[in-house]
Homo-oligomer: A and B are copies of this chain.
Protein backbone atom coordinates (compact mmCIF):
# COMPACT_ATOMS: atom_id res chain seq x y z
CA UNK A 1 0.00 0.00 0.00
CA UNK A 2 2.01 2.93 -1.34
CA UNK A 3 0.05 5.64 0.53
CA UNK A 4 -0.70 5.71 4.23
CA UNK A 5 -4.32 5.01 5.05
CA UNK A 6 -4.62 8.27 6.97
CA UNK A 7 -3.58 10.28 3.92
CA UNK A 8 -6.74 9.51 1.96
CA UNK A 9 -8.90 10.04 5.02
CA UNK A 10 -7.42 13.46 5.67
CA UNK A 11 -7.95 14.48 2.04
CA UNK A 12 -11.54 13.33 2.32
CA UNK A 13 -12.01 15.42 5.45
CA UNK A 14 -10.53 18.43 3.68
CA UNK A 15 -13.13 18.02 0.92
CA UNK A 16 -15.95 17.67 3.47
CA UNK A 17 -14.82 20.80 5.33
CA UNK A 18 -14.52 22.80 2.09
CA UNK A 19 -17.98 21.61 1.04
CA UNK A 20 -19.51 22.42 4.44
CA UNK A 21 -18.32 26.03 4.17
CA UNK A 22 -19.18 26.55 0.52
CA UNK A 23 -22.63 24.97 0.83
CA UNK A 24 -23.57 27.17 3.78
CA UNK A 25 -22.33 30.25 1.93
CA UNK A 26 -23.78 29.60 -1.53
CA UNK A 27 -26.28 26.78 -1.08
CA UNK A 28 -25.88 23.19 -2.29
CA UNK A 29 -26.81 24.18 -5.86
CA UNK A 30 -24.78 27.37 -5.76
CA UNK A 31 -21.44 25.62 -5.60
CA UNK A 32 -20.04 23.07 -8.04
CA UNK A 33 -17.99 19.93 -7.42
CA UNK A 34 -15.13 21.66 -9.23
CA UNK A 35 -15.23 24.72 -6.96
CA UNK A 36 -15.31 22.59 -3.82
CA UNK A 37 -12.35 20.50 -5.00
CA UNK A 38 -10.43 23.63 -5.93
CA UNK A 39 -10.91 25.17 -2.49
CA UNK A 40 -9.69 21.86 -1.01
CA UNK A 41 -6.56 22.23 -3.17
CA UNK A 42 -7.49 19.50 -5.65
CA UNK A 43 -8.82 19.11 -9.19
CA UNK A 44 -12.37 18.06 -9.93
CA UNK A 45 -11.55 14.72 -11.53
CA UNK A 46 -10.43 13.14 -8.27
CA UNK A 47 -13.76 13.72 -6.59
CA UNK A 48 -15.27 10.33 -7.43
CA UNK A 49 -12.41 8.48 -5.76
CA UNK A 50 -13.83 9.83 -2.48
CA UNK A 51 -17.59 10.14 -2.98
CA UNK A 52 -20.21 8.35 -5.04
CA UNK A 53 -22.02 11.56 -5.99
CA UNK A 54 -22.34 15.23 -5.13
CA UNK A 55 -25.45 14.44 -3.07
CA UNK A 56 -23.43 12.03 -0.94
CA UNK A 57 -20.93 14.79 -0.18
CA UNK A 58 -23.71 17.29 0.57
CA UNK A 59 -25.23 14.85 3.07
CA UNK A 60 -21.89 14.32 4.82
CA UNK A 61 -21.01 18.03 4.81
CA UNK A 62 -24.38 18.80 6.37
CA UNK A 63 -23.82 16.49 9.34
CA UNK A 64 -20.31 17.88 9.74
CA UNK A 65 -21.61 21.47 9.77
CA UNK A 66 -24.25 20.62 12.38
CA UNK A 67 -21.76 18.95 14.73
CA UNK A 68 -19.29 21.81 14.38
CA UNK A 69 -21.93 24.46 15.02
CA UNK A 70 -23.30 22.85 18.17
CA UNK A 71 -19.79 22.38 19.60
CA UNK A 72 -19.00 26.03 18.90
CA UNK A 73 -22.24 27.30 20.47
CA UNK A 74 -21.81 25.12 23.53
CA UNK A 75 -18.34 26.52 24.11
CA UNK A 76 -19.38 30.11 23.47
CA UNK A 77 -22.46 29.97 25.72
CA UNK A 78 -20.48 28.35 28.55
CA UNK A 79 -17.76 31.03 28.57
CA UNK A 80 -17.45 32.76 31.93
CA UNK A 81 -20.39 30.83 33.38
CA UNK A 82 -20.21 28.41 36.28
CA UNK A 83 -23.25 26.34 35.38
CA UNK A 84 -23.86 24.67 32.02
CA UNK A 85 -25.84 27.00 29.73
CA UNK A 86 -29.63 26.75 29.47
CA UNK A 87 -31.85 27.23 26.41
CA UNK A 88 -31.90 31.03 26.56
CA UNK A 89 -28.10 31.24 26.82
CA UNK A 90 -27.64 28.95 23.81
CA UNK A 91 -30.21 30.95 21.84
CA UNK A 92 -28.41 34.19 22.73
CA UNK A 93 -25.09 32.76 21.54
CA UNK A 94 -26.82 31.62 18.33
CA UNK A 95 -28.59 34.92 17.60
CA UNK A 96 -25.51 37.12 17.26
CA UNK A 97 -24.20 39.37 14.51
CA UNK A 98 -21.11 37.30 13.88
CA UNK A 99 -23.22 34.23 13.19
CA UNK A 100 -25.49 36.21 10.88
CA UNK A 101 -22.53 37.62 8.96
CA UNK A 102 -20.65 34.32 8.62
CA UNK A 103 -23.06 31.63 7.49
CA UNK A 104 -20.10 29.62 6.18
CA UNK A 105 -19.21 28.76 9.79
CA UNK A 106 -22.74 28.73 11.16
CA UNK A 107 -25.88 26.69 11.46
CA UNK A 108 -26.65 24.68 8.30
CA UNK A 109 -30.38 24.77 9.07
CA UNK A 110 -30.53 28.56 8.99
CA UNK A 111 -28.25 28.58 5.95
CA UNK A 112 -30.18 26.21 3.71
CA UNK A 113 -32.79 23.95 5.35
CA UNK A 114 -35.61 24.66 2.84
CA UNK A 115 -33.58 23.72 -0.22
CA UNK A 116 -32.13 20.66 1.56
CA UNK A 117 -35.67 19.50 2.37
CA UNK A 118 -36.35 19.43 -1.40
CA UNK A 119 -33.15 17.54 -2.16
CA UNK A 120 -32.11 13.98 -2.85
CA UNK A 121 -33.34 11.36 -0.32
CA UNK A 122 -29.79 11.02 1.10
CA UNK A 123 -29.71 14.77 1.70
CA UNK A 124 -33.19 14.73 3.26
CA UNK A 125 -32.11 11.92 5.58
CA UNK A 126 -29.04 13.87 6.70
CA UNK A 127 -31.22 16.93 7.27
CA UNK A 128 -33.57 14.92 9.48
CA UNK A 129 -30.58 13.65 11.45
CA UNK A 130 -29.25 17.17 11.96
CA UNK A 131 -32.64 18.30 13.28
CA UNK A 132 -32.74 15.35 15.66
CA UNK A 133 -29.20 16.04 16.86
CA UNK A 134 -30.10 19.67 17.55
CA UNK A 135 -33.19 18.63 19.51
CA UNK A 136 -31.35 16.02 21.58
CA UNK A 137 -28.65 18.57 22.35
CA UNK A 138 -31.11 21.28 23.40
CA UNK A 139 -33.11 18.82 25.51
CA UNK A 140 -29.96 17.99 27.40
CA UNK A 141 -29.48 21.68 28.18
CA UNK A 142 -33.12 22.10 29.20
CA UNK A 143 -32.80 19.43 31.86
CA UNK A 144 -31.08 21.38 34.63
CA UNK A 145 -32.89 23.13 37.50
CA UNK A 146 -35.86 25.03 36.04
CA UNK A 147 -36.56 22.15 33.70
CA UNK A 148 -38.18 23.10 30.41
CA UNK A 149 -40.78 21.21 28.40
CA UNK A 150 -40.44 19.65 24.95
CA UNK A 151 -42.57 22.41 23.49
CA UNK A 152 -40.19 24.99 24.93
CA UNK A 153 -37.26 23.15 23.36
CA UNK A 154 -38.97 22.97 19.96
CA UNK A 155 -40.30 26.51 20.17
CA UNK A 156 -36.86 27.85 21.09
CA UNK A 157 -35.16 26.02 18.22
CA UNK A 158 -37.84 27.27 15.80
CA UNK A 159 -37.35 30.87 16.95
CA UNK A 160 -33.55 30.55 16.76
CA UNK A 161 -33.60 29.30 13.17
CA UNK A 162 -36.43 31.56 12.05
CA UNK A 163 -34.80 34.53 13.78
CA UNK A 164 -31.47 33.98 12.02
CA UNK A 165 -33.21 33.55 8.67
CA UNK A 166 -35.22 36.75 9.21
CA UNK A 167 -32.10 38.66 10.25
CA UNK A 168 -30.39 37.59 7.03
CA UNK A 169 -33.50 38.40 4.98
CA UNK A 170 -34.01 41.88 6.48
CA UNK A 171 -33.42 44.76 4.11
CA UNK A 172 -30.90 46.83 6.04
CA UNK A 173 -28.34 46.26 8.81
CA UNK A 174 -30.23 48.30 11.39
CA UNK A 175 -33.39 46.24 11.05
CA UNK A 176 -31.37 43.06 11.02
CA UNK A 177 -29.79 43.93 14.38
CA UNK A 178 -33.25 44.73 15.71
CA UNK A 179 -34.48 41.28 14.70
CA UNK A 180 -31.65 39.51 16.54
CA UNK A 181 -32.14 41.56 19.73
CA UNK A 182 -35.90 41.17 19.66
CA UNK A 183 -35.86 37.39 19.25
CA UNK A 184 -33.25 37.10 22.04
CA UNK A 185 -35.53 39.11 24.31
CA UNK A 186 -38.53 37.06 23.24
CA UNK A 187 -36.76 33.87 24.28
CA UNK A 188 -35.69 35.31 27.64
CA UNK A 189 -39.37 36.04 28.42
CA UNK A 190 -38.16 39.56 29.26
CA UNK A 191 -40.50 41.41 26.97
Contact = CB atoms under 8 A, between A and B. Distances in A.
Counting every copy of the chain, the complex holds 2
Contact of A160 (B109, B156, B162, B191): B162
Contacts of A183: 151, 154-155, 158
Contacts of A153: 182
A44 interface: no
User: Main SS of chain A's interface residues?
Assistant: helix
Question: Range of interface residues on chain A?
Answer: 35 or more
Nearest to A187: B155
Interface of A: 26-27, 29-30, 109-118, 124-125, 127-132, 149-163, 165-166, 168-172, 178-179, 181-183, 185-187, 191
